[in-house]
Amino acid sequence: MKKLGFTNALLLALQTIRSHKLRSFLTILGVIVGTGTIIGVGAILTGFDSNIAGVLRSFGPNSIIVFRFPVGFRVTELTPEERTRKNLTYENAVDIRERCPSVADVSPMLFPNRDLINAHYKSNEIYDVNLFGVEEAYARQGQADMHLGRFFTDAEGRRRESVAVLGADVEKALFANVDPIGKTINVDGYEFQVIGTMLHPAASFFGDTDNRVLVSRRAIACWTKRWMKSGQSCA
């Protein structure tokens, strides 16, 4: 009896599908789209979560980055407490290095307080690069995974040599089919000799561009005081 009832129900369902082909198609399509959307959103969230976890792990549990103000987009004005904060200086980084025995290394970073900085080599140009003044410690901390050439040394920094290390996307934009080592680029009116290029950093989110142009901190500070006004960071 149960078998007969199941057979009749199945035949009735098939007859209904044949009688209402469009409605049946739309129903099946809705189920497929809904299921696919749920699976896709779940996969995106899982991948994004894994990517964030990978970024945090890449910095390691013993790294601290210090900024004067919170990093990222903000819609509110500076608080009274934030307005009274003093600029971070190179001397702060030196004090941490000398007075904190538990700190293994310190990498001061200087970046200009400007919105857009462009770089070009001959007819090739890339807009909105991230120009940073750093020291050799930046590479020792694992933030510069070299692709070609080398990172600049502390001796080159002390001599204020105009050398630069380029991020992966800067290298691709300016030197798509050319060996960049030894070439001279122009960044915001200053010329640098390229001595190395880097791979895309592990500590980045999916889709982020690597527009870093790393130069000697002392070279930037020597050329003009406008780089020293604000926007300094030491880590």
pLDDT digits (tens, 9 = 90+) for 158-176: 787 889 999 989 999 999 8
Beta-bridge partners for 215: 133, 164
Residue 184: CB atoms within 10 Å: 12
Map out the domains of the chain as residue ranges: 2-59, 66-234
Q: How many residues does the chain have?
A: 235
* Burial class (CB within 10 angstroms; exposed 0-12, middle 13-18, buried 19+) of 163: buried
User: Percentage of the chain with pLDDT > 70?
Assistant: 77
Cα 229 to chain centroid distance, Å, stands at: 24
> In this predicted structure, what is the pLDDT of residue 219?
65
Residue with tokens 């987009």, as numbered in its chain: 73
State the Cα–Cα distance between residues 229 and 220, nearest whole angstrom: 12
> In this predicted structure, what is the pLDDT of residue 138?
81
Backbone angles phi, psi at 213, to 5 degrees: -125, 105
The answer to pTM > 0.75 is no
Helix (H) and strand (E) counts in the chain? 8, 11
